[in-house]
A = this chain, B = another copy of it.
């Protein structure tokens, strides 16, 4: 079975769409391009995704899910000190973002456009990240390392206080040399505020 005769699956379409987005950028990537890349007619793509918007949304979700998967490991490593786990989680998030934005700025810009047009999916992604944070905060409160409180709203506050280091609208700042020190200064202040 050669690759060109493999059955057409949603997964293969998503892979081809990522490639077309990478090559053509968010404004010029068309459904016809995706079909051409797969050697099928564009009508076949519409059998798996009802609209172009739905296809772009699915690609966005896949990308965001890969990103949150990597962080879950840090969040759920229950053996380690919650304060240190919080630091590592934020540092991991920031490093991943900065690497993506720095290594391939065009692809990052492409995904920033997709993120802007898919508020719903992004909302779920952020909810997942805050849920991971909530688990760390909960562990810290349970062990008495952190002052008691509502873990979910504390987690949300931590996430928002560090927007500068993960929200793509701040991406231009991530190349400045002081940025790492700025993150550490904020984390220190937040962790001090969190301590029992």
Tell me the A residues contacting B by CB distance below 8 Å: 147, 153-154, 156-158, 160-164, 167, 169-170, 181-182, 185-186, 188-194
Main secondary structure of the interface of A (DSSP, over half): helix
Which partner residue on chain B sits nearest A158 by CB separation?
A: B189
Within 8 Å CB of A147, what residues of B?
Answer: 192
Q: Knowing A161-B162, A192-B193, A193-B193, say if A156 contacts B169 (CB, 8 Å).
A: no
The answer to whether A160 touches B169, judged by C-beta atoms less than 8 angstroms apart, is no
CA distance A14 to B176 in the complex (A): 33
Within 8 Å CB of A160, what residues of B?
Answer: 164, 182, 186
The answer to whether A193 touches B189, judged by C-beta atoms less than 8 angstroms apart, is yes
Within 8 Å CB of A192, what residues of B?
Answer: 147, 192-194
The answer to whether A191 touches B190, judged by C-beta atoms less than 8 angstroms apart, is no
Which partner residue on chain B sits nearest A150 by CB separation?
A: B185
A62 to chain B, nearest CB (A): 25
The answer to whether B186 touches A154, judged by C-beta atoms less than 8 angstroms apart, is no
Which partner residue on chain B sits nearest A181 by CB separation?
A: B153
CA distance A167 to B153 in the complex (A): 22
CA distance A192 to B149 in the complex (A): 13
CA distance A26 to B142 in the complex (A): 53
CA distance A39 to B154 in the complex (A): 58
Q: Knowing A164-B163, A170-B163, say if A189 contacts B185 (CB, 8 Å).
A: no
Within 8 Å CB of A191, what residues of B?
Answer: 193
A48 to chain B, nearest CB (A): 32
The one of B158, B185, B194 in contact with A157, judged by C-beta atoms closer than 8 angstroms, is B185
Within 8 Å CB of A161, what residues of B?
Answer: 161-162, 164, 186, 189-190
Q: Using A167-B170, A192-B194 as known contacts, list a sample of 11 further A-B pairs with CB atoms less than 8 Å apart, ordered by residue number in A.
A: A154-B185, A156-B182, A158-B189, A161-B161, A163-B163, A167-B169, A169-B169, A169-B170, A189-B193, A189-B194, A190-B193
